[in-house]
């Protein structure tokens, strides 16, 4: 790569900045893009980084007049921009992994709480009086209607309703306590 020195660059900018910048862009853009491509391996990303390099070069055009080796200056800008882009990609990937870990942790916690809640409900059902437990299981686990339960157990429909109601009141107490304890653990 041939080296550009400051005098030619500054003379060109003095006469016509846009024309000089266009010449520099045409000359260096394909090389800078290939150079950046070596860092990131992605053509789209390399184009974006190369364009950013030339945008910064244009914005610093007054400062660039003091640069002795334009070739080295542009490649240094490209190297820094490529490394910044790689850092950004790495940070986004790291953040995505952390978010995934948090989601996995939340999923595991939810599964544990769900399992724990099922265990509490099962233990409470086992503590119910035998007839109440039988009615509740037939209703909630077997999916029978109150009329069917009453007929099967030879009891009135009102008795079935009373057993189910009493069972639900007891379960609600323990589920409420469990939920409060779970929320307190998360604080």
Q: What's the rounded Cα separation, in Å, for the pair 51 and 53?
A: 5
Residue 31's CB is within 10 A of a number of other CB atoms, namely 15
pLDDT at 42: 75
- The CATH number assigned to the domain with range 6-95 reads 1.10.1740.10
pLDDT at 37: 81
Sign of the dihedral through C-alpha 140, 141, 143, 147: negative
Name the CA dihedral angle for 16, 18, 23, 28, rounded to a multiple of 10 degrees: 140
- Element spanning 163, H or E: helix 157-186
Over range 84-108, report the average pLDDT. Answer: 61
pLDDT at 186: 62
For the segment 35-55, what is each residue's pLDDT rounded down to a tens digit?
888 777 778 888 888 888 888
Q: Indicate where the chain has its CATH 1.10.1740.10 domain(s).
A: 6-95
Give the range among 6-10, 54-58, 69-73, 133-137 with minimum mean pLDDT. Answer: 6-10
Of 124 and 175, which is predicted with more confidence? 124
Architecture per CATH, 102-186: Orthogonal Bundle (1.10)
Residue 56 CB-density burial (10 A; 0-12 exposed, 13-18 middle, 19+ buried): middle
Q: Residue 82: name the closest of 28, 27, 24, 34 by CA.
A: 34
Q: Indicate where the chain has its CATH 1.10.10.10 domain(s).
A: 102-186
């Amino acid at each position: 790569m041939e080296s550009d020195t400051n005098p030619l660059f500054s003379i060109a900018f003095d006469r016509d900045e846009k024309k000089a910048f266009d010449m520099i862009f045409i000359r260096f853009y394909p090389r800078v893009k290939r150079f950046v491509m070596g860092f990131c391996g992605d053509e789209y990303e390399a184009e974006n980084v190369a364009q950013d390099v030339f945008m910064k070069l244009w914005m610093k055009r007054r400062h660039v007049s003091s640069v002795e080796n334009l070739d080295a200056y542009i490649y240094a800008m490209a190297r820094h921009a490529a490394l910044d882009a790689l850092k950004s990609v790495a940070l986004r990937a790291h953040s995505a992994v952390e978010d995934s870990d948090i989601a996995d942790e939340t999923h595991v916690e939810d599964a544990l709480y769900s399992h724990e809640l099922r265990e509490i409900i099962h233990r409470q059902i086992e503590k119910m009086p035998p007839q109440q437990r039988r009615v509740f299981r037939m209703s909630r686990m077997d999916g029978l209607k109150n009329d069917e339960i009453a007929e099967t157990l030879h009891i009135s429909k009102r008795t079935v309703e009373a057993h189910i109601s009493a069972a639900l009141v007891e379960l609600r107490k323990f589920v409420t306590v469990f939920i409060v304890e779970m929320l307190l653990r998360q604080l």
